[in-house]
Amino acid sequence: MSERSHGKLSIRPDGALDFLSLGALVHRLDPGIIPFRKASHCDIHVSGGEFNVAANLADCFGMKAGLASAMVDYPIGDLIGERVRAMGVKPFYKRFAHNGVNGPNMATVYSDRGAGMRAPVVFYNRANEAAAELKPGDFDWATIFGGNVGVRWFHSGGIFAALSKTTGALIAEGMKAAKAAGAVTSFDLNFREKLWNLWGGQKIAVEVVERIVENVDVLVGNEEDLQKGLGIAGPEVAAKSNLDPSAFVDMIDKVVAKHPHVKAVATTLREVHSTNRHSWSAVAWLDGKIHQAPTAELDVVDRVGGGDGFAAGFIYGLLSGAAPQEAVSLGWAHGALLTTFPGDTTMATLDQVRAFAKGGSARIQR
């Protein structure tokens, strides 16, 4: 079978896995609209940027998706593992034993939803996190990418890269193995200053990300992610609003000049009017052209995971052979729908995504 080509982006037509991501699994405690200081109960969502993309691709888009991550053998790990299975994601775990006292742990995210003019509040407990202990050599990439498995697309992200001195090196190792095996590679820059500042700061971040991006085909990130993660000077064009893609577009030439092997760059565009009212769009550079989605006015239930929702729809579009504009529209539509559900991962169907991508509405479906 021939490879599908998107300009220089060549996607292998088959593989035991369509998609594999590498990253940390976390659980998010969600008291809804109640601030934590007044909360009496919480919902528990399983999350992690890389897991979210894999789960969305498996559950909504019907793709064969996997996740390489750390797993701790204790009840929180059991809870998280059950959700991974429920979303249809094939796990590749490096397992850790919990000592019954202080870990290692599966990280906790605390996130209320805010309401109206009150913004959501997010904070973490990543103390003694098992995923931060992951290092080169922990996964048998030769077996995962070769033999009977084979992977069409490999993905990771900047939050996982920032967890420790070893996680970035592990991503770089995985990207190199994926490229050698013929997989498309993508990296969501997701620059988090607080995480990097714990052990290295931006100078180290740029060095770590540089080694990763050497083998990356597709970058996901806005102009700030591109500046801070790649160490590239800011745009010369000032964006008129958060929905204006001009600042992002201005960065593309600089990104490609520094990393000429990068074949696509994509990001969401979001204007927050209030916690529950957002304007939403998306833009991608692919085939040497800019492709932009329309702007939708969103009534937001839970904004967490919208960007991962976009990434999943965009990647699905490319894996399924859609034209670049359609891939952007699918990502935009799925990300928009994801904000209407509680939790970090999808509850949408592919039919709903396709209908919204074509300009569907919220009229009742009978």
* pLDDT (tens digit per residue) in 69-114: 999 999 999 999 999 999 999 999 999 999 999 999 999 999 999 9
pLDDT at 366 over 60: no
- Please give the Cα distance from 160 to 24 (Å, whole number): 6
* pLDDT tens for each residue of 258-278: 999 999 999 999 999 999 999
Q: Sort residue 221 into left (φ over 0), alpha (ψ -120 to 50) or beta.
A: left
pLDDT at 5 over 50: no
Beta bridge partners, 47, equal 26
- Please give the Cα distance from 152 to 185 (Å, whole number): 9
What SS3 class is residue 262? Answer: coil
pTM of the model: 0.95
Q: In the numeric block, which tokens belong to residue 320?
A: 């399924």
pLDDT at 1 over 90: no
**Measuring CA to CA, which residue among 25, 87, 56 is closest to residue 335?**
56
Q: Are the beta carbons of 213 and 230 closer than 8 angstroms?
A: yes
Residue 345 pLDDT: 98
Residue 364 pLDDT: 44
pLDDT band at 2 (very low <50, low <70, confident <90, very high): very low
Q: In the numeric block, which tokens belong to residue 268?
A: 């969401």
- Please give the Cα distance from 171 to 57 (Å, whole number): 21
Mean pLDDT, the chain, integer: 93
H/E stretch holding 272: strand 264-274
- Please give the Cα distance from 321 to 187 (Å, whole number): 20
Residue 241 pLDDT: 86
* pLDDT tens for each residue of 191-232: 999 999 999 899 999 999 999 999 999 999 999 999 999 999
**Measuring CA to CA, which residue among 214, 128, 123 is closest to residue 168?**
214
